[in-house]
A and B are shown apart, each in its own frame.
Chain A
Amino acid sequence: MPIIEVEGLTKTYRVFQKKEGLLGALRGLYRREYKEVKAVAGINFSIEPGEMVAFLGPNGAGKTTTLKMLSGLIYPTAGDATVLGHVPWRREDAYRRRFALVMGQKNQLWWDLPAGDSFQLHREIYSIPRDQFDRTLGELAELLGVEKLTRQAVRELSLGERMKMELIAALLHGPQVLLLDEPTIGLDVVAQAAIQKCLRDYHASRGVTMLLTSHYMRDVEALCDRVIVITHGTLVYDGPLAGIVERFGESKLVRLQFEGPAPERREMERYGEVSRLEGPFADVRIERSRIAGALADVLNRHALADVSVEDPPLEEVIAKVFEEARLAHDAA
């Protein structure tokens, strides 16, 4: 049985249209004009227990709005959702004890208190048994390397340390569903890797279900097998991470190393777009259907020392998916 089920979920915002200039501002005082903005336009998906799913899309695609509905912060305009058998926006304590939301840009810890005090508050808020609390806190703090920082006021911590504390706070009560909105935004590579490792280990040991949004493909590749892509409030892809490259990555990067110096640019450009040409090396982007023929052709004419065929970077593929969806949306 799915742990998260979403059907026809829709959220429309009414946005107040500000008029230009002083006169417009005055007019706005008695007659307000609103524009309807469809943030999420009827999406469907379901997630099985223990899955780690990446929720991708350009800024303003509706990812955060969806996460807010799933965590019960906002009501949908239409559609249904159940998480752990609960309707999130009813905000029953029985639901709130079993999930957690981590937002990279909003902190939930008490700013002026040391993180340790916030953790204690969480222990009371969630009624976590003392031994379970001590054990989980010890493990997570060690895993993230922040044991020595729990007595320092949160506002004095670095962004990375703060994010680690946020993550600990979110995991203390052992949530079964974890919703993460840009958990690694603005973090350096080391902190990013630490957060990823923590999530991976936590997932492996607890079997927690995770849905995360991120603009860093590194997060997605490190954590998720399944990807849901949403643009302009509509779902454009739902499937395995590998499948997205299959489907949208139409060309591959072929890296050639010749025995002698590489042939002239004009010759190589017959196969595809040349991205590097120096000494014996040539990197060419070749359409998938033409790779076999092109390689045979090159081997016929030249002696090769080495060859490799690589999928294009995920970032590039995703950018293309977004771009195509934008064009389709603009055309509609």
Chain B
Amino acid sequence: MTPPDVALAPPRPGPLPSLVKYARIFRVALIERMTYRSDFLLGTILRFLPIVTTVLLWRAIYEGSGQAELGGFNYREMIAYLLLTNISRMFSSMPGLAGGIAREVREGTLKRYLIQPLDLLGYLLSSRVAHKVAYITMSFLPYAGLFYLCRGYFDGFPDPLQMLAFVVSLVLAFVVGFYFEASVGMVGFWFLEVTSVLYIVMTLNFFISGHMLPLDLLPQPWSGLLKVLPFQYMAYFPAVVFQGKVRGTELLLHLALELFWAVAFAVLARTLYRAGLKRYSAFGG
């Protein structure tokens, strides 16, 4: 055993070392992610199957309606849109995040974040970034193949500036998605059983984020309303940016709004976490 190091002063981390800490946690989580690569690959391939049915379904809808355009989308654009929302969701969906937080509260593993110098949201964010980096890297090739096969539905790549806006919208979609789901997970502090709440929220989100169909297809005032809400940034918005349907000042305005919602959800998640901890520390632990 080493001699007593009573004199050892506890390291005092400023903001920078603290950042380094979470960056390292990110690295450890990334290594962990990579160990599951086989079921990962299989999962990615299985994900493509519903796309085939989607294509067939919308072909039937367009043929049945007898119209060339629905809500400003022709058949080719519609398929392209639905393919693109898969990219949006690749960034904004957070499987297991909300349920995971609720479970940590219920099963008491939350203690770890109270006892150790470790922040729950900071930890979850860094491991989620690691998860996403691994996931996006590994599904890059299969997705590239898919989009190559479906190239007939697209009119080539958008111009560089639009492409940049698309990338920015995706990164922000990740932040919005993360803090939105984290906020939902904090409900676990008040209710023991959250599965049904999560199910409702996620199902609703599938629809109001525009993952299922473009928001423009809905009658007014619904489509207008849904475009004011933050959920569209998790699926609809990045897709239409790629398609060039939002341009100029409107595009900038929406990017600013997306940033606003990212910050707003971050503040909400943090506030709920603080309130939840207060309750947790008063009642149980």
Q: Report which A residues bind B (CB closer than 8 A).
A: 13-14, 68, 71-75, 89, 91, 93-94, 96-98, 100-101, 103, 106-108, 112-113, 117, 120-122, 124-127, 132, 135-136, 139, 174, 176, 201-202, 204-207
Question: Taking the complex as formed, is B13 at the interface, i.e. its CB lies under 8 A from any CB of chain A?
Answer: yes
Q: Most chain-A Cβ atoms within 10 A of its Cβ — which of B28, B31, B283? A: B28
- A93–B13 Cα gap in the complex (Å)? 9
CB-CB under 8 A from B108, the residues of chain A are 106
Q: List 6 A-B contacts (CB under 8 A).
A: A75-B282, A96-B117, A108-B109, A125-B21, A139-B1, A206-B4
Interface residues on chain B, size class = 20 to 34
What's the minimum C-beta distance from A185 to chain B, rounded to whole angstroms? 16
Q: Say yes or no: A139-B2 contact (C-beta < 8 A), given A72-B114, A74-B282, A125-B116.
A: yes
Report how far A84 CA is from B143 CA in the complex, Å: 55
| Bound Cα distance A13, B284 (Å) | 8
B39 at the interface (CB under 8 A from A): no
Q: Is B6 an interface residue (CB 8 A)?
A: yes
Task: For A14, give the chain B residue with the smallest CB separation.
Answer: B283
B:73-125 near A, CB below 8 Å: 108-109, 111-112, 114-118
Q: How far is the CA of A13 from the CA of B282 in the complex (A)?
A: 8
Closest to A135 in B: B2
A72 and B111 alpha carbons, distance in the complex (Å): 10
Chain B residues, Cβ within 8 Å of A125: 21, 25, 116-118
* B164-189 contact mask (Cβ, 8 Å, vs A): 1 or 0: 00000000000000000000000000
Q: Would A127 and B32 count as touching, CB distance under 8 A?
A: no
Do the beta carbons of A94 and B25 come within 8 Å of each other?
no
Say which residue of B13, B25, B115 sits within 8 Å of A72 (CB atoms): B115
Task: Evaluate contact between B1 and A71: CB separation under 8 angstroms.
Answer: no
* 17 other A-B residue contacts (CB within 8 Å) besides A101-B115, A174-B5: A68-B285, A71-B115, A73-B285, A91-B114, A93-B117, A94-B12, A96-B117, A97-B11, A97-B117, A108-B112, A112-B32, A117-B32, A121-B28, A124-B25, A125-B116, A206-B4, A207-B4
* Least distance between A213 CB and chain B CB atoms (Å): 15
Residue B219 at the A interface, CB < 8 A? no
Closest 5 CB pairs of A and B: A205-B1, A74-B285, A73-B285, A124-B24, A93-B117
B25 to chain A, nearest CB (A): 6
Other-chain contact of A89, B2, B12, B117, B281 (Cβ < 8 Å): B281
Report how far A255 CA is from B109 CA in the complex, Å. 51
Task: List residues of B (15-52) whose CB comes within 8 Å of A's CBs.
Answer: 17, 21, 24-25, 28, 31-32
Flag if A13 contacts B283 (CB, 8 Å).
yes
- Verify if B60 is at the interface (C-beta below 8 Å from A): no
| Shortest beta-carbon distance from B117 to chain A in Å | 4
B10 in contact (CB, < 8 A): yes
**The one of B8, B13, B111, B117 that contacts A174, using a Cβ cutoff of 8 Å:** B8
Residue B3 interfacial (CB < 8 Å): yes
Binding site for A on B (CB under 8 A): 1-6, 8, 10-13, 17, 21, 24-25, 28, 31-32, 108-109, 111-112, 114-118, 281-285
Among A75, A101, A124, A205, max chain B CB count under 10 A is at A124
* B11 x A73 contact (CB < 8 A): no
Please report the C-alpha to C-alpha distance between residue A143 and residue B11 in the assembled complex, in whole angstroms.
27
A117 to B2, CA, bound (A): 23
Beyond A73-B114, A106-B108, whether A113 also contacts B32 by CB under 8 A is: yes
How many Å from the CB of B269 to the closest CB on chain A? 18
A176–B6 touching, CB < 8 Å: yes
Residues of B within 8 A of A93 (CB): 13, 117
Known: A74-B285, A125-B118. Is A106-B111 also a contact (CB below 8 A)?
yes
In the complex the two chains form, what is the Cα distance from A89 to B278 in whole Å? Answer: 10
Q: Return chain B residues, CB-CB under 8 Å to A103.
A: 111
Contact A108 B111 (CB under 8 A): yes
Contact between chains at A117 and B4 (CB < 8 Å): no
Residues of A within 8 A of B24 (CB): 124
Cβ–Cβ < 8 Å partners of A174 in chain B: 5, 8
Residues of A within 8 A of B17 (CB): 127
> With A and B bound together, what is the CA distance between A94 and B12 in angstroms?
7
**By the criterion CB–CB under 8 Å, are A96 and B285 in contact?**
no
Chain B residue nearest to A103 (CB atoms) is: B111
List chain A residues, Cβ under 8 A from B285.
68, 73-74
Task: Find chain A residues with CB under 8 A from B25 CB.
Answer: 121, 124-125
- Determine the chain A residues whose CB is within 8 A of the CB of B112 once the complex forms: 108
What are the residues of chain A within 8 A of B8 when measuring CB–CB? 174
- With A127-B21, A207-B4 in contact, do A74 and B117 touch (Cβ < 8 Å)? no
Pairwise interchain contact A74-B281, C-beta atoms closer than 8 A: yes
> Complex Cα distance A192/B285, Å?
27
- The answer to whether B111 touches A75, judged by C-beta atoms less than 8 angstroms apart, is no
When C-beta atoms are compared, the residue in chain A nearest to B8 turns out to be A174
Closest A residue to B111 by CB, please name it. A73
Give the chain A neighbours of B10 by CB distance below 8 A: 94, 97-98
Question: Contact: A127 with B13, CB < 8 Å?
Answer: yes
CA distance A14 to B114 in the complex (A): 22
Residues of B within 8 Å of A124, CB to CB, are: 21, 24-25, 28
Residues of B within 8 A of A201 (CB): 1
- The residues of A that contact B21 with a CB separation of less than 8 Å are 124-125, 127
Nearest-neighbor residue (CB-CB) of B284 within chain A: A74
Q: Are A75 and B1 in contact, CB atoms less than 8 angstroms apart?
A: no
Are the CB atoms of B115 and A73 closer together than 8 Å? yes
